A and B are shown apart, each in its own frame.
Chain A
Amino acid sequence: MFKLEPRLRGLTAMDYRGSQQFDKFMLWIDAVGGFWVCLGDKVTLGQPTACGTVDVPILADISSRHARIRRDGEGYLIEAIREVQVDGLEVEKMAALSDGSRITLGEGVRLAFRRPHALSATARLDFASHHRTQPSADAVLLMADSCVLGPKSSSHVVCREWDEEVILYRHDEQLYCRTKAALTIDGVRYQGRGRITVNSHIEGEGFSLSLEGIRHS
């Protein structure tokens, strides 16, 4: 009578909630930093609001819906709702972003747009000014299908002390974590890869990290 969609088979209620409700989470990497990860193709940048509709809330003197960044296939576009500059030029309506683009929101929020990995559409927004997200994160990741954490400079999150890369990726609307060696996800040991939720704690050889779903608060 009830037929579950294939992607939902074998999930607990918790997982289901985890998979559905969150389109963004905090990625806390021990000894490295905290990262604001957005899964959606369209993210709004703006001042934090009470209802939490902003995808990337930045504590700054900007509008609550200041700009929108859209992942369009392989490329990124920024749509200016309020005053936005890219590489010093005022954005009328839309502008394309490429690795190294410098975004200015309003008066003083300066972001650097990076796409460090050639094979992944995932992008990173670094804060070049002193503004931070609310709650605070070191950088914002606009995660497409995969997100590479590792020692190389082409990683989305550079973890210099690590020996191996750890890759978070999406498959059938699920989040997975993959690495070369064994890893422990929420106390369960996996070989090579395992499914994670947005509230998982992952430990492996020489690294540990936690995810924390960001609720609309």
Chain B
Amino acid sequence: MQEQVTAVEPNGNKSMEFSVDEPGDSPSPGRPAAKFVYPGGSRPLSGYTIKRGIGHGGFGEIYYALSDAGKEVALKLIRRNLDVELRGIRHCLNLKHPNLLDLYDIRQDDEGDTWVVMEYISEGCLADALADYPNGMPADRALAWFHGIAAGVAHLHDRGIVHRDLKPGNIFSDDGLVKVGDYGLSKFVSCSRRSGQTESVGTVHYMAPEVANGRYGKEIDIYALGIVLYEMLTGRVPFEGESVGEVLMKHLTAKPDVSGLAEPYRSVIARALEKDPAQRFRTVSEMLAALPQPAHTPPGAARLPSGTHRAAGGAGAAGAAGGAGAVPPPFPEGIIEAEAVDEEPILKAVCETWSKLCTAWNDANLPAPVKILLLVAVIVVLLVNAGVLVPLTVVLVIMYAGYRLVRAMVLPQHRHKFCSHRADVAPTPSAEPPQAVQPQAAPRQSPFPPRYDPKLAITMPGRRGRRHREQATPALVVKPPRERFTELIRSLLAGALVAIAMCVVLVLVNSYCFSFPVRPDQYAWLVLVSIAGTWAVLIPSKFWEGTRGEVILRRFIQMVIGMGLGAVAFATSALLMVHPPADGGYGNDFHLLPRAPAGFYDAYGHPMLLAYLACFGSLYFLMRWWRQADPLRGTRLSLWSVFLTVVVAAIVGGFWSFPQSWLMTVAVAISASVQIASPWLPPRKRFRRNNV
């Protein structure tokens, strides 16, 4: 089948204008929300009354209008009557296919502008549906969409028409029936020579590499289908970039990363995205044949399973989010996570127990004071039993490390086997019981928009969090320095206050469980060191905020800072003439080294400068403190972080024979103060700006 709709002959000196649409944006409601030439109520075209603007397409404005008899239509205004373009639409005018948006007519108004009269669809487009699944749709839903799209495109190809602008914004669902729209308009390319001005047309994310050379075979639709399928399964397009040029360059040169996909999707997409058109699938049906059939779909007209319906109004006017009633993916080869993490059963069990505990803790409807009391009680118990727990933990950790080492050597293929296992735990944001699925008999709508269920979010903690972090990070990077500085000052002040309060609490805990009265000078030392330690975390973290940086480098910098802190701690203790109670007060201290290194302790067992340097240096090297100050951390005060800090402090103290409880107290005070004092963005607020 030879392509018949020839748009613009490629010509060496023509410059092409493209725009990069954010894939998450729904293109149907144009981004400049206003500015339609015709207001509601006007009748530029006899027989139709415009009610409102819908959006801006590649060529002009699209309006919602009623005919005099009351028929709902979409009117597309084409301002420039290029014969080529009109010929393209005329070719398509009499196409009939359930998966193609109907074109009713082409009309001219009195001013000579051309209007395309077409079917109006009140529901959202695929772009809206994608916005509901930021991590990709369930495989079955994606397949249902894809089969509908492919059927429509295959029909176009059968009539010798190349769509050229397949993208989620052009694919709609009407009552569960997939409709491909915007065909016949050769909008890919607009030459500046002809239009005389830059025009934003199309989006480069779905554009095959050979388009740059002016080749418009139906292979470009296959390519676009591959990208759309990829986007449906993963939630993002394979080639992203800051600029048009960057995306184009990736289309031309980069290999798509399909490693996160399961078969057969991986090979189908890889083949559809071949750079050489000849290497791709020859026809849409060939591509379709390589994919499984969607379940619950009546043969023929490919309908989506129920629950696709968004409340109408494009921009979510009615507020009802779609994406419910999903079918659990029936295919064992569902989508797997992009990074298949080697999950070891013991670690997994521990993590699951921990996350359950966290959930229970968060869900437990306890008032804050009770929680704090509980927390204090737990810390007391831990501190009292530190003598037993710490060695036990160390032994367990060493044993576990050995086990992991052996496991890694014995099971090198583990990772690959693992991939196929993950399929059934693939992240499905709408894991609903499948009772809502009766495509033929029951009305095909989800009863009511589902409420957001926080539990669902918890079932897949790692990945979602990571992605959200990535999405939210840019907002932090662009934060103006002034704002950053203000935040820093604020958190420094707060940190000092919180550290003082924490020290009181910890001293009380200490004196309770060791029945050891802390002298005022010791308390002063504790407060000063805690404040200095809190600041030593907050300041570098503020600089690192929003960037990734090399972990080892940051650890090193922290180590240097930690040593500085150690020096401060030593200086303070020398000035105040106070010493951590190392002399016999803690008989049960656990020592990893048989005896303290030379020059660390004086004759009375009081730590010297070297001991301080070593202790605080290693404490700051071992912990990734900046994560505790990260505004994008999971919760404001993570008990896990505090606990980890205690453990690390215990190990460090044990290693350097430093008075352990003393170091642990300081570490807990620092950790809690840092987390309470540094700014935290609640997850809900992170994306308000970015339309999610």
In the complex, the answer to whether A110 meets B447 with C-beta atoms within 8 Å is yes
Known: A29-B317, A31-B29, A33-B315. A128 touches B64 (CB 8 A): no
In the complex, the answer to whether A32 meets B443 with C-beta atoms within 8 Å is no
Stretch of B30-38, B333-341, B374-382 at the chain-chain interface = B30-38
- Residue in A35, A108, A157 whose CB lies within 8 Å of B443: A108
Q: Is B39 an interface residue (CB 8 A)?
A: yes
Most interface-central of A35, A128, A159 (chain B CB within 10 A): A128
In the complex, the answer to whether B175 meets A159 with C-beta atoms within 8 Å is no
Q: Produce 1/0 per residue, A183-215, CB < 8 A to B.
A: 000000000000000010101111111101000
- Residue in A108, A158, A204 whose CB lies within 8 Å of B34: A204
Interface residues of A in 65-84 (CB under 8 A from B): none
In the complex, the answer to whether B314 meets A129 with C-beta atoms within 8 Å is no
- Residue in B31, B36, B70, B320 whose CB lies within 8 Å of A126: B320
In the complex, the answer to whether B39 meets A201 with C-beta atoms within 8 Å is yes
Minimum distance in angstroms from B49 CB to a CB of chain A:
9
In the complex, the answer to whether A127 meets B318 with C-beta atoms within 8 Å is yes
In the complex, the answer to whether A160 meets B39 with C-beta atoms within 8 Å is no
Minimum distance in angstroms from B10 CB to a CB of chain A:
34
Specify which chain B residues have a CB less than 8 angstroms from the CB of A210 in the assembled complex. Answer: 39-41, 51-52
Specify which chain B residues have a CB less than 8 angstroms from the CB of A212 in the assembled complex. Answer: 40-41, 51
Specify which chain A residues have a CB less than 8 angstroms from the CB of B33 in the assembled complex. Answer: 30-32, 159, 161-162, 206-207
In the complex, the answer to whether B52 meets A29 with C-beta atoms within 8 Å is yes
Q: Produce 1/0 per residue, B297-326, CB < 8 A to A.
A: 000000000000101111111111000000
In the complex, the answer to whether A207 meets B34 with C-beta atoms within 8 Å is yes
In the complex, the answer to whether A126 meets B53 with C-beta atoms within 8 Å is no
Q: Produce 1/0 per residue, B413-448, CB < 8 A to A.
A: 000000000000000000000000000000111111
In the complex, the answer to whether B36 meets A30 with C-beta atoms within 8 Å is yes
Give Cα A173 to B53, complex, Å. Answer: 29
Q: Produce 1/0 per residue, B175-204, CB < 8 A to A.
A: 100000000000000000000000000000
Known: A130-B445, A201-B41, A208-B35. A32 touches B313 (CB 8 A): yes
Residues of B in contact with A, size category: 35 or more
Q: Is B568 an interface residue (CB 8 A)?
A: no
In the complex, the answer to whether B34 meets A128 with C-beta atoms within 8 Å is no
In the complex, the answer to whether A31 meets B319 with C-beta atoms within 8 Å is no
Minimum distance in angstroms from B61 CB to a CB of chain A:
9
Known: A129-B445, A158-B319, A212-B41. A138 touches B313 (CB 8 A): yes
Specify which chain A residues have a CB less than 8 angstroms from the CB of B175 in the assembled complex. Answer: 130
Q: Is B240 an interface residue (CB 8 A)?
A: no
In the complex, the answer to whether B31 meets A161 with C-beta atoms within 8 Å is yes
Specify which chain A residues have a CB less than 8 angstroms from the CB of B473 in the assembled complex. Answer: none
Specify which chain A residues have a CB less than 8 angstroms from the CB of B39 in the assembled complex. Answer: 201, 203, 208, 210
In the complex, the answer to whether A33 meets B320 with C-beta atoms within 8 Å is no
- Residue in B122, B446, B449 whose CB lies within 8 Å of A138: B122
In the complex, the answer to whether A130 meets B34 with C-beta atoms within 8 Å is no
Minimum distance in angstroms from A101 CB to a CB of chain B:
10
Q: Is A26 an interface residue (CB 8 A)?
A: yes
Give Cα A130 to B309, complex, Å. Answer: 9
Give Cα A101 to B70, complex, Å. Answer: 32
Q: Is B55 an interface residue (CB 8 A)?
A: yes
Specify which chain B residues have a CB less than 8 angstroms from the CB of A208 in the assembled complex. Answer: 34-36, 39, 53
4 further A-B contacts with Cβ under 8 Å, apart from A112-B320, A210-B39, are A31-B52, A126-B449, A201-B39, A208-B34
Give me the 3 closest cross-chain CB pairs, A-B, nearest first. A210-B40, A33-B313, A28-B52
A to B CB contacts below 8 Å, 22 in the list: A30-B52, A31-B33, A32-B52, A33-B52, A34-B51, A102-B447, A110-B445, A110-B447, A112-B320, A124-B319, A126-B311, A126-B449, A130-B175, A132-B122, A136-B122, A138-B122, A138-B312, A138-B318, A160-B315, A161-B32, A161-B33, A201-B41
